Amino acid sequence: MVDAAAVTVREARDDELEALAALRWRWVRESTDEALPDLGAYVVEVAGWARQHRGSHVPFAAVEAGEVVGMAWLAIQARVPSPRALERRSGDLQSCYVVPDARGRGIGTMLADAVLASARERGLEHVTVHASPRSIPVYERAGFRSNPRALWAEGAIGER
């Protein structure tokens, strides 16, 4: 798999948020020919968003030879208090992406592992992930399992 000394996965530093934003743009570019916002403007906007939302969206970076080659985000959501626990929170693993040249080396699993470790440290009740068919094995290696109680409503919720 991956040489642990070659890749470091950790919570992203503030000076890496622009690189994460650029990866998000690149990810969408890989899957579409449609016009996208200017990369530079997008990076500025998204890095600013990431700084503003650091308390609810924790960024993780996979770094190899000083370059960010992957990312994942832990979105933290407050839950309705219960008589058993007044403070409840859950998480959602979002925007897990590894650059094409670094895929197939276990970096995606390392990112998912880091997100789950952070969720445990923060005392989150559970973490969900919305996976593409291709990424399901990555998340399963990290410990995610299908849940028959999870349902999904897609699209504009108000439309019927």
pLDDT at 64: 97
Q: Which strand (E) or helix (H) includes residue 25? A: helix 17-31
Q: Is residue 132 part of a domain?
A: yes
Tell whether 150 is covered by a domain.
no
Q: Band of the pLDDT at 160, cuts 50, 70, 90?
A: very low
Half-sphere exposure at residue 117, Cβ-oriented, CA atoms within 13 angstroms: 11
Task: Answer whether residue 156 is part of any domain.
Answer: no
How does pLDDT run across 56-95, given as a tens digit for each residue? 999 999 999 999 999 999 999 999 999 999 999 999 999 9
Distance CA 95, CA 23 (A): 10
Convert the pLDDT of each residue in 3-62 to its tens digit. 656 999 999 999 999 999 999 999 999 999 999 999 999 999 999 999 999 999 999 999
Q: Which domain holds residue 109?
A: 7-142
Give CA–CA dist 61/57, Å, rounded.
13
Give the model's pLDDT for residue 152: 80
Six-digit token string for 126: 């559970």
In-domain check, residue 148: no
Q: Is residue 106 within 8 Å of residue 1, measured between CB atoms? A: yes
Say if 155 falls within a structural domain. Answer: no
Provide the whole-model pTM. Answer: 0.91
The C-alpha atoms of residue 41 and residue 61 are separated, in whole angstroms, by 21
Helix (H) or strand (E) holding 69: strand 67-78
**Residue 151: pLDDT over 90:** no
Q: What angle do CA 112, 5, 136 make, to 5 degrees?
A: 20
- Check whether 139 has a pLDDT greater than 90: yes
Gyration radius (Cα) of the chain, Å: 17
Residues 6+ apart with CB under 8 A from 68: 12, 16, 19, 20, 23, 61, 62
- Quickly list DSSP for 45-68: HHHHHHHHTTTTEEEEEEEETTEE
Instruction: Check pLDDT > 60 for residue 2.
Output: no
Q: Which residue has the tokens 């960010």?
A: 68
* Predicted pLDDT of residue 155: 75
Residue 76 within any structural domain of the chain:
yes
Question: 101-120: per-residue pLDDT in tens?
Answer: 999 999 999 999 999 999 99
Domains of the chain: total: 1
**CATH classification of the domain holding 36:** 3.40.630.30
Q: Does residue 56 sit within a domain?
A: yes
Render 78-114 in DSSP notation, one character per residue. Answer: E----SS-SS-EEEEEEEEEE-GGGTTSSHHHHHHHH
Instruction: Identify whether 17 is part of a domain.
Output: yes
